Structure 1
Amino acid sequence: MNHILKSISFIFHPLIMPILGVIFYFSKSPRFIPIEIIKNKLISISILTLILPILIYYLLKTLGKTKSIYLKTTQERILPLGLNCIIIYLILKRVFPPTEILELYFFFVGILLSTLACFILAILKFKASIHMIAISGVLMFFIALSIHFSININGTLALMVIIIGATASSRLHLNAHNFNELIVGFCIGFFPQLTLLNYWLV
């Protein structure tokens, strides 16, 4: 059981959540988007949200700015979260500007707001669960897309709820977070996406 719970934290790592949301959007959107554009967007997002953060982590570890990939202390979190805010800002400017795909633009605006909130809390010595922030944000985005495109994705949403429960259990079991940190993380991820629906959900 211990190995299973550890695996859950790795499988549903926060780094994969943004690209998961983008893939889901392209797979469900009824709009015609040329395949070349989709490929270019996915490559760009993979580099900026997955490969680049991993390289930054190893650089910070080499420089002695962080001790482990788990970012166990709030002090270790501050610099990676700050750099991640810059990366997301670049995505909003270069990959998903508001003049192209509005839904994905606001999806990443929500991610930026959540990351900023987590960054501020880290400065204030509170360690919100980044796992819960990422997963809850994607869940709200999926719900919004189901309404926006009038599609039935109840099975996907049910699976996401199960994943959230499993991830929360994993983080508690590993003593990575307490209950309050998980709840705050969920709210930080969920509510920015919910609030931004006013700007794109029609």
Structure 2
Amino acid sequence: MPYKIDYTRLAHGISWVLHPFLLPVYMIALLLTATTFALFPANVKFYLLWVILLYAVLIPVLALGVLRSLGRISSYRVDDRRERLLPLLVGAICYLLCAITLAKIPSVVFLRKFMVAAACCEVLCLVVSLRWKISLHLTGMGAVVALLVVMNIAGVGHMLIPLSVAILGAGALASARLYLGCHNGMQVLAGFGGGFLVATLAMLFL
């Protein structure tokens, strides 16, 4: 009997693997292994990884737990547009705090810029969510693709393979979100395009 693919489970798996909370972790791992950051001492690498995990993952996840316990959000997926405002505000503040913390190390200015770009993307989603639902997943992927493009242009590292993987991942993620009925085509396109544009401008000018 031929194996039948469970597309719903696959779509959920892609959505979790490429969740916005995890994207900064993937990027810091890439930066610390495939760029000039790989030359940093082990203790500096550990510090950078810990700072990213703290501000981009642990605090936002804990904030979601608090908001859920207080009844401010009905689900950890935060599918309701109106329930996204507080989590997005918390996310923006966390990314800014992360950027401020990283500013203590002048040699990681590129990483600091990425955190500022991530904060700007959170603000973009916050403003849009006041009136309309935008894909947070694709906004994050747009920012990742923008970072890799800028890295290639700036010569920070040879990112053609990671860039190709990110673009394919963005396509798979868009398909997954559409298949699950979480968003329509315009919301997915606006998320990716908005994340790419805002992140690019933030990294170049902020």
TM score, norm. by length of structure 1? 0.91
Moved over 6 A (4+): none
1:67 aligns with 2:71: no
Distance 2:170 2:45 in 1: 28
Task: Confirm or deny: 8 A CA contact 2:151 2:159 kept in the other structure.
Answer: no
TM-superposed deviation, 1:14: 0.5
Distance 1:167 1:189 in 2: 14
Residue in structure 1 matching 2:42, options 35, 49, 61: 35
Distance 1:54 1:196 in 2: 25
* 1:108 counterpart letter in structure 2: M
Provide the aligned C-alpha RMSD in A: 1.8
Q: Deviations over 1:46-87 (max 9, x none)?
A: 122112111111111110000112211111100100111111
| Count, aligned residues | 199
TM-superposed deviation, 1:99: 3.3
Distance 2:119 2:202 in 1: 12
TM-superposed deviation, 1:146: 2.2
Q: What is the aligned partner in structure 2 of residue 133 from structure 1? A: 139
Give identity over the alignment, percent. 22
* 1:73 counterpart letter in structure 2: D
TM score, norm. by length of structure 2? 0.89
Task: Confirm or deny: 8 A CA contact 2:148 2:163 kept in the other structure.
Answer: yes
Residue in structure 2 matching 1:155, options 151, 154, 161: 161
**In terms of mean alpha carbon deviation, does 69-78 or 88-97 score higher?**
88-97
Residue in structure 1 matching 2:93, options 86, 89, 98: 86
1:178 aligns with 2:184: yes
* 1:93 counterpart letter in structure 2: I
SS in 2 for 1:117: helix
1:10 aligns with 2:16: yes
SS in 1 for 2:64: helix
Distance 1:145 1:139 in 2: 10
TM-superposed deviation, 1:154: 2.5
Task: Confirm or deny: 8 A CA contact 2:102 2:108 kept in the other structure.
Answer: no
Which runs of 5 or more residues in structure 2 are unaligned?
1-6
Distance 1:150 1:77 in 2: 34
1:188 aligns with 2:194: yes
Q: What is the aligned partner in structure 2 of residue 49 from structure 1? A: 56
| Structure 1 residues 161 and 63: CA distance shift in structure 2, 3 A | same
